[in-house]
Amino acid sequence: MIRIFGSKWAMALTPILLLAAILGAGCGGGSSDAAGGEEGSSEAPPPLRIERVASVAGEAAGFGRVESIVVDAQGRMYLADTQTREIPVFGPDGERIGSLGGSGGGPGEFTYLGAPLGLVDGALLAMDWQGRRGVTLFTLDGTVAATDPWPPTERNMPTTILTGADGALGIVRVQSIRSLSADEDPPPQSSPELVYREFQADGSSRPLDAIRDTLVPWVEPAWCKSNDGQNLRSFRYPFTGRGPLRALLPGGELAMADPASYTIDVVDPTTGSVTRTIRRDVEPLPLREDWWEEQAEVQDFIAFVRRHGGPALSLGGSPCPYYTVRPDHLPVLRTLIADEAGRLWVESTGPDGVGFLLGLIDSDGRLLGEGPMPDRDERVTPFARGDRLYVVTRDSLDVQGVQVYRVTPGS
């Protein structure tokens, strides 16, 4: 069942049977009274029609490491290449039409190009995490419109930028794990203080103090050393939360979701109150041992142990607690993004834990359709605009490219 709750729409969406060919997992959906739906309706939502319409060839593009993609109203694609410190620009047909930035310390250049890009009032926002430590705003023809240093009173810069049709929010992680002595272990979970900052048209920002993350604890990396104590490394855990999923809706509303369930809260950023909640009845799948062990992070840890010929140890000398935070279930949700029409594009775990599904939910909370999510580089959040989905891909040789898909509800 898919349901909406809240002060804006106090209603329940009627159950419907999703297409077995798509879900095979007994999920439900429905249509709302506000959208003209009828109580007791059993009409199933159509599958999504997903067809590729353009691409950027990986080898020809010569990417270093792309970590962010945004798209303007004309369909031009901007990618943050953190290795080359450049922002290559591609037209709607996938042809390269220019670039912004580059390595250096001058206007419009970057010592360390921050991965997230943002769009603010028709301009492109990018960050330099070192050197100048500030925000650069480019007009879409490549001119440097503004350069704003990050407030010196704030030690940390945003690690995430949520970009919407008419603005961007930066998320700053204020609280970090303190320096540890050689015999101390960090806590496996923490609740860091997160500050949301709204970016302005001149590149400056202001805090939104009303928003607080309370959904998901952060899981810190495991710090482990080899059994001879000569090698120290940190290992991230797969399938664990680093705060909620988030998407910026038109008008500044913030959609937030706990990956462990198909529950999306829509938050008013000025008050921090939840205006409505969208839910679908989706049961999380148990995490099988073979799924856990085939994850890249786990394989990395196993290789470290084998390479050094013995069990890995924590900083305090006990066995490394890497497996202690292994979850019992796969996350239900993987990604949450929003387009300029206020629709939510939701990536969820597929039936039987194989692949992922793409669900499209309109601004009234109706499930418009669902279909298989195209393969993508899981390190880069997709972008949606109009009926287009933009994903960064990665092949077996770690070469990245871009695929553009037209996504429409089928009949």
- Whether residue 125 contacts residue 164, with contact meaning beta carbons closer than 8 Å, is answered with no
User: Burial letters for 136-158: b for 16+ Cβ neighbours within 10 Å, e otherwise?
Assistant: bbbebeeebbbebebeeeeeebb
What pTM, to 2 d.p., does this model score? 0.81
**How far does CA 269 lie from the centroid of its chain?**
19
Q: Is 14 exposed, middle or buried (0-12, 13-18, 19+ CB in 10 A)?
A: buried
Vertex 299 angle, CA 309 and 307, to 5°: 20
pLDDT of residue 120: 86
Where are the alpha helices (H) located in 49-172, listed in sequence order?
Answer: 58-61
Q: Which two tokens stand for residue 290?
A: 């073979």
Please give the residue range of the domain that contains residue 371.
2-409
Q: Say how many C-beta atoms besides its own lie within 10 A of residue 299's C-beta.
A: 12
CA distance 41 to 38: 6
Q: What is the CATH number of the domain that holds 205?
A: 2.120.10.30
pLDDT of residue 94: 93
- Whether residue 336 contacts residue 255, with contact meaning beta carbons closer than 8 Å, is answered with yes
Q: In sequence order, which residues have a C-beta less than 8 Å from that of residue 64 and are 6 or more positions away?
A: 81, 82, 83, 84
Q: How many domains does the chain have?
A: 1
Q: Which two tokens stand for residue 167?
A: 């603005």
pLDDT of residue 38: 30
HEC sequence for 219-274: ECCEEEECCCCCCEEEECCCCCCECCEEEECHHHCEEEEECCCCEEEEECCCCCCE
Q: Say how many C-beta atoms besides its own lie within 10 A of residue 245's C-beta.
A: 23
Q: Say how many C-beta atoms besides its own lie within 10 A of residue 271's C-beta.
A: 10
Give CA separation, 280 vs 32, 76, 150, in Å.
13, 34, 40
pLDDT of residue 288: 92
pLDDT of residue 190: 54
305: part of which helix (H) or strand (E)? helix 296-307
pLDDT of residue 153: 66
DSSP conformational letter for 298:
H
pLDDT of residue 27: 40
Q: Are strands 222-225 and 232-235 parallel, antiparallel or unpaired?
A: antiparallel
Residue among 295, 367, 362 nearest 331 (CA):
295
Strands (DSSP E) along 299-399, which ranges? 313-314, 333-338, 344-349, 356-361, 367-372, 383-385, 388-394
Q: pLDDT 10s digit of each residue in the chain, 411 long?
A: 444 444 332 323 223 223 333 333 334 333 333 333 333 234 566 899 999 999 998 777 788 899 999 999 999 999 999 999 999 999 999 999 999 998 888 888 898 887 778 888 888 989 887 766 788 889 888 889 888 877 766 767 777 788 876 678 887 766 544 444 445 455 555 556 677 888 887 778 888 877 766 545 566 777 888 888 888 888 878 886 556 789 999 888 899 998 989 999 999 988 889 999 999 999 999 999 998 888 888 888 889 988 888 888 887 788 887 777 788 999 999 999 999 999 999 999 998 888 999 999 998 899 999 999 999 998 899 999 999 999 999 988 889 999 999 999 976
CA distance 365 to 313: 48
**How far does CA 174 lie from the centroid of its chain?**
19
